[in-house]
């Protein structure tokens, strides 16, 4: 695991994607989910969205993450919150799910870390015909300076840092049909205040002192994002398996 992902795992935060929980809720409200539907949250982290979906939508929710620690935190959250999502350790590049099992695949900040097209092919495999993929990813704006793009790739351990247009091409290459794609600015102060409405009471923070190198990585990340925030965006991608 790269050191940025290791650092955020230690913190145990529930929403490690741009737009935060308030954005997830807004987007998911507009997605039709049957009460007996199957939702897969791929790269679920500490499972906050999975837990919320299990509680509010009555669907069968499965969270998958490659990190054992994230899955332990997600299970602890699920117990504390009294929700019924299931959490499994596994790789988004080779998911432990059979073909055409899911009504909804949810991804919140995962493609950015992986060979995105391969993950999308896996998502298409596990989705039923007519199933929907919902994905929220940080994207590089067209004005992002080349050296800043390189720095972000280095600090976050990314092999690519794609633009919204590059993601939409990948979705179309893989054979998804566009429902809606939305471009947003990174959250500002007002949005951060909105996030405070959703205080994370079920979060598990690792008790061990955080490794100083991980603290340094997190600080570098925060500074880089802050310095380049006017060139950064995030995309919400909603596509259908036709
Ligand atoms: C930025 S975090 C987002 C977590 C969560 N979706 C959220 O929004 O809070 C990315 C997550 O992807 C997971 N991840 C990274 N590579 C993965 C892979 N190959 N398969 C499954 N999960 C992976 C990490 O462990 C981490 O939990």
Domains, the chain, ordered by start: 13-142+161-208+232-241 (3.40.50.150)
The number of the ligand 1 atom at minimal distance from the alpha carbon of 48 is 9
If you average pLDDT over residues 213-240, what whole number do you get? Answer: 91
Phi, psi of 181 (to 5 degrees): -130, 130
pLDDT at 207: 65
Whether 27 is in the pocket of ligand 1, judged by its Cβ within 6 Å, is no
* Range of 16-20, 107-111, 183-187 with top mean pLDDT: 107-111
Gyration radius of the chain over CA positions: 17
If you average pLDDT over residues 110-124, what whole number do you get? Answer: 97
Residues 6+ apart with CB under 8 A from 17: 24, 108, 109, 136, 137, 138, 234
Helix axis angle, 68-81 to 3-11, nearest 10°:
20
Going from the Cα of 109 to the center of ligand 1, the distance in angstroms, rounded, reads: 7
pLDDT for 32-45, tens place per residue? 999 899 999 999 99
Q: Are 88 and 64 a contacting pair, CB within 8 Å?
A: yes
The number of the ligand 1 atom at minimal distance from the alpha carbon of 91 is 20
Whether 115 is in the pocket of ligand 1, judged by its Cβ within 6 Å, is no
Instruction: Provide the whole-model pTM.
Output: 0.92
Inter-CA distances, 93 with 40, 118, 136, 160, 239, Å: 14, 6, 18, 16, 19
The helix (run of H) or strand (run of E) holding residue 191 is helix 189-195
Question: Which of residues 28 and 17 earns the better pLDDT score?
Answer: 28
- Max CA-CA distance within the chain? 48
pLDDT at 205: 67
3-state secondary structure of 16: coil
Inter-CA distances, 223 with 21, 35, 39, Å: 22, 42, 35
């Amino acid at each position: 695991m790269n050191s940025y992902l290791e650092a955020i795992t230690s913190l145990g935060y529930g929403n490690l994607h741009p737009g935060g929980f308030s954005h997830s809720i807004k987007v998911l409200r507009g997605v039709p989910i049957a009460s007996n539907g199957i939702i897969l949250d791929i790269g679920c982290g500490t499972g906050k969205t999975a837990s919320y979906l299990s509680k509010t939508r009555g669907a069968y929710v499965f969270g998958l993450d490659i990190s054992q620690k994230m899955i332990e935190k997600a299970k602890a959250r699920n117990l504390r919150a009294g929700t019924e999502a299931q959490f499994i350790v596994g790789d988004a590049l080779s998911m432990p799910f059979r073909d055409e099992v899911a009504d909804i695949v949810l991804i919140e900040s995962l493609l950015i870390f992986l060979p995105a097209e391969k993950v999308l092919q896996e998502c298409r495999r596990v989705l039923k015909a007519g199933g929907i993929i919902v994905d929220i990813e940080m994207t590089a704006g067209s004005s992002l300076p080349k050296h800043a793009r390189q720095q972000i790739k280095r600090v976050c351990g990314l092999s690519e840092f794609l633009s919204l247009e590059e993601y939409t091409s990948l979705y179309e290459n893989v054979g998804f049909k566009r429902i809606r794609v939305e471009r947003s600015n990174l959250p500002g102060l007002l949005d951060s205040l909105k996030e405070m409405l959703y205080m994370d009471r079920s979060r598990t923070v690792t008790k061990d002192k955080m490794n100083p190198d991980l603290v340094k990585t997190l600080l570098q990340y925060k500074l880089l994002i802050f310095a380049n925030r006017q060139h950064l965006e995030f995309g919400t991608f909603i596509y259908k398996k036709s």
